[in-house]
Homo-oligomer: A and B are copies of this chain.
């Protein structure tokens, strides 16, 4: 976490109160907040922070590879701070909750050359869908 702030400073990031708060809000496992949720949590600590700044900061964090953008449902994008431990997502079809998962095997290896249509394939992202324990009850 403060490793994150250090890395960013090394990269020439001007460290402002707003950016610090956004980074803090995104800390943790199984965190997948929308930009709007990030904004309201950040505003709880720094009331004058603007939506534009939250969007700017999130975009920069994504570009620097510190945060991964997840489009689960075509509505708001979600931001996953756990970018340095590769993982996939399991999401509840009913309530939309998300968990990070670590499947075995490498999905990239499962795409035969005959199926790659001449693409240079770079990555594979797996989304599992199901019903979470709370919704099943």
Nearest CB of chain B from residue A3's CB, rounded to whole Å: 26
* A107 contacts B103, C-beta separation under 8 Å: yes
Nearest B residue to A73 via CB reads B71
Q: A74-B69, A90-B116, A103-B111 are in contact. Are A122 and B129 (CB under 8 A)?
A: yes
Nearest CB of chain B from residue A100's CB, rounded to whole Å: 9
* B123 contacts A111, C-beta separation under 8 Å: no
User: What is the total number of copies of this protein in its complex?
Assistant: 2
* A119 contacts B90, C-beta separation under 8 Å: yes
Query: A120 interface residue, CB < 8 Å from B?
Result: yes
**CB neighbours of A122 from chain B (8 A):** 93, 129-131
Main secondary structure of the interface of A (DSSP, over half): mixed
Nearest B residue to A119 via CB reads B130
**CB neighbours of A99 from chain B (8 A):** 117, 119
Residues of A in contact with B (beta carbons under 8 Å apart): 69, 71-74, 77, 90, 92-93, 99, 101-105, 107-108, 110-112, 115-133, 136
Name the 8 nearest CB pairs between A and B, nearest first.
A118-B133, A71-B74, A121-B130, A103-B110, A119-B130, A74-B77, A105-B110, A101-B115
